[in-house]
Structure 1
Amino acid sequence: MVTGVEAKDECRLALDALKQSPLYNCRCKRGMKKEKNCLRIYWGIYQHLQGNDLLEDSPYEPVNSRLSDIFRLAPIYSEALAAIYLLTQNKWKTQALIEIA
């Protein structure tokens, strides 16, 4: 068993070797046949490499499609529709009050 400085050097070399392997750039695809297995492997590797700093990485391949834009923009669009609805409701209420007066 190796301890101390030798162990630290050995771990650093192993980490460098892993970063050079194809596993380091491995990503999963949503809906793939073995998605759960892929995610388990991904998080097993990256959790040890990055500790708790996992917020910037995604286990999924980047998706360059119109559909991904739709999902990304959906909350923004939803808020805009809600704002428009509220504005039109307030406008109608104001017009009704003017007509009554």
Structure 2
Amino acid sequence: MTRPVNNQPQRSSKKTDKKRLRKKQAVLVKRCVQALNSNADFFRSKISNTHPSQSAKTQSDGTLKHFKPVRIETVNKSTISEAVDMLESKFTIEEPDQKEEKE
């Protein structure tokens, strides 16, 4: 009696699959960190109106840069009230209750 021959290939070991997955995950994490660094640098430059530094783009060891402190200028109350007056003259906000009363 002969055994039936299986046409299925032998299974590969799980260790190689795990190693391959770990390598893929490590590459993916590295790319994500680089993207976060470049986005943070762009955001920082947009707020402070300066050119983006090259430090975050050249760094490829996977560490996140700390945000540099940014000074935010505040607006006077008179400027805000002028803006509110201007917007009120152009736009009106109606409450849902007011629509029902008009009908």
**TM-score, structure 1 length as denominator?**
0.36
Q: Could you tell me the TM-score, scaled by structure 2's length?
A: 0.36
**Relative to total residues, which structure has the larger helix share, 1 or 2?**
1
